[in-house]
Amino acid sequence: MMRLALPKGRNLPTTLEALRAAGLGLDGFGTNGRKLWSTVVEDDLEVLLLKDWDVPLYVEYGVADFGVVGSDVLDEMDGDLLVPARLREGGCRLSLIGPEGSLPAAGAQIRLASKYPNLARQLVASRPWSAEIVRLSGSVELGPLLSLTEVALDIVQTGATLRENGLVELEVVAEVQPCLVFNRASYQRHRERLNELVRNLEEKGQVI
Amino acid sequence: MRVTSAFPTGVTALLFEEAAARRSYEAVATAELERSGFAEVILPILDYFEPYSALVSRQARDELYRFVDRDGELLALRGDFTPMLARVLAPRAESLDTPLRVFYRGDRVRYQEERVGRLREYYEIGGELLGVTGPEADAEMLELFLRLLQLHTGVELRVVIGFAGALDETLAGRSPADSAEILAAIARRDRRAARAAGDILLEVVRDGAPETREALGERAAARLGELERVCATVGEHFVEGDVSLAIDLAEFAEETLDPKVSRSAETIPYYDGFIFRAYAAGTALSVGRGGRYDQLFRRLGADLPAVGFSISPDRLLRSAGS
């Protein structure tokens, strides 16, 4: 029986929709419920509900055979995973945010808040300004809002939180999509079944 | 001073049953190697750092533990066996009685990022067949590799096989940077990137090889045909279900033979012929790997074709055997 790791955050509903369209029943999984580990006999699967940041680890270490996780988390963690497809729905943007007009000028030295220190470092390395990276674990918008930092690098979905707090999206750094990920060894052992899943997702228009 | 039982990251002790299990596997594996005509070599744990700068990739070089000793020499702990063996044997290649069959066992030490299963001190057993080229030698080593893995009884093995440079001809005409990017995407099984690069590459990602082998180009098609024969010959000697052999060119996509692409990806190609990797049920990392690396000796000025493998007994013993 294979084991699937699903993200229990904002990507869960769209992920379930895509996987169900591809033929998995995943009965009993919804946005509510607190069960973290269940067996879905009809799908011959065990399903784990994990925090986004934990999905790549569980899959890379082979505790789960495959999973779904945002490309933002994948890029930040840089693990050894197979990434055969990106899901069509559930996308958002990784953006530089701050007060209107706060995009750093060339030569500026600023502070930048982010949950993504590695991606933030890569971004700064490609810019004509420099920044001290301040790692925050939540409510990153508060960094520029309370002048802890000048700007922040964070996920923007609709932009509503930014607008409510008087911040703007200064620059889109990357498009973010939920990604289907496979453990390398699991792929070799369950190649036919995992390829069939990707084929079904493609045929049902669930991937980009 | 407070005494704790903790070791540095990536280092572990095997106690009692685990130590006995490793030694027991080591005993049967080395006996099988000796029965197959392989003689042991014992290599030092310390060497100069400098000779490896031209032999291994930048990443492998960066992972070496190095230090300056009291004589002012820059030394490195053994990060791999094969380049060290090549360094020892290349200067005496002409006086060697070939074919030469050797095996080694011991620890290699490398700085690895802190991740489960990726130890910094890592024990392995390996074999090398030197001085012989061609598919018969490749088949001999693959067969021996499988026999050694099966000494852990009941283990179910999935062995993927490919060859270096398999996709080079399909990428001809692209810039080295583009090619390196496409090969990395294929190794990740990224179907969108593969599709954008052409139907043949999508077939490789999906099925391991294109339906029509000629689509890979003349040289690669001939190599693929040879590989299929090696698989068929070796496969006959093992029970289907216990061992399954699959050709999968995507698994080894980044093993390019195009020097411009390698330079673009900042790698030094290690394998230059057939390559294989074994996965066992119950482990997330491969339990062994190997292939042909004729150019390693050539870089040291010796014309000594080489094919070999290494096995991780500790990972193998943790797999779901009986």
DSSP string over B179-247: HHHHHHHHHTT-HHHHHHH-HHHHHHHHHSS-SSGGGG-HHHHHHHHHHHHHHHHHHTTS-BTTEEEEE
**Cβ distance of A188 and B116 shorter than 8 Å:** no
Report yes or no: A129 and A105 within 8 Å, Cβ to Cβ: yes
Q: What percent of chain A has pLDDT over 90?
A: 77
Q: Which pair of tokens denotes residue B32? A: 């099988």
């060697």: which residue's tokens?
B96
Q: In what order do the strands lie in the sheet with A82-86?
A: A37-40, A45-50, A2-7, A66-70, A178-182, A82-86
The alpha carbon of residue A105 is apart from the nearest alpha carbon of chain B, in Å, by 31
**A192 → chain B, closest CA residue:** B207
DSSP code per residue over B276-295: EEEEETT-SS-SEEEEE-HH
* Model pLDDT for residues B264-280, shown as the tens digit of each residue: 777 777 899 999 999 99
Residue B68: burial class (beta carbons within 10 Å; 0-12, 13-18, 19+): exposed
Contacts of A61 in chain B (CB under 8 A): 115-117, 284
* Model pLDDT for residues B172-221, shown as the tens digit of each residue: 999 999 999 999 999 999 999 999 999 999 999 999 999 999 999 999 99
Contacts of B116 in chain A (CB under 8 A): 57, 61
At B321 the pLDDT is 62
DSSP code per residue over A173-198: EEEE-EEEEE-HHHHHHTHHHHHHHH
Q: What percent of chain B has pLDDT over 90?
A: 80
Report yes or no: A180 and A70 within 8 Å, Cβ to Cβ: no
Residues of A with CB under 8 A from a CB of B: 57, 60-63, 79, 81-86, 182-189, 191, 195, 198, 202, 207-208
Report yes or no: A2 and A45 within 8 Å, Cβ to Cβ: yes
**Cβ distance of B284 and A208 shorter than 8 Å:** no
**Cβ distance of B189 and A208 shorter than 8 Å:** no
Which residue from A83, A185, A198 is facing B283, i.e. has the nearest CB? A185
- For the cut 80, the answer to whether the pLDDT of residue A96 exceeds it is yes
Contacts of A207 in chain B (CB under 8 A): 191-192
């004509």: which residue's tokens?
A128
**Cβ distance of B284 and A185 shorter than 8 Å:** yes
**Mean predicted confidence (pLDDT) in A133-147:** 90
Residue (of B199, B219, B222) closest to B211 by Cα position: B199
At A156 the pLDDT is 94
Alpha carbons A50 and A56: distance in angstroms, whole number: 10
Alpha carbons B5 and B190: distance in angstroms, whole number: 44
* Model pLDDT for residues A19-65, shown as the tens digit of each residue: 999 999 888 776 566 678 888 888 889 999 999 999 999 999 889 99
Alpha carbons A202 and A24: distance in angstroms, whole number: 14
**Cβ distance of A61 and B191 shorter than 8 Å:** no
The alpha carbon of residue B47 is apart from the nearest alpha carbon of chain A, in Å, by 30
At A55 the pLDDT is 95
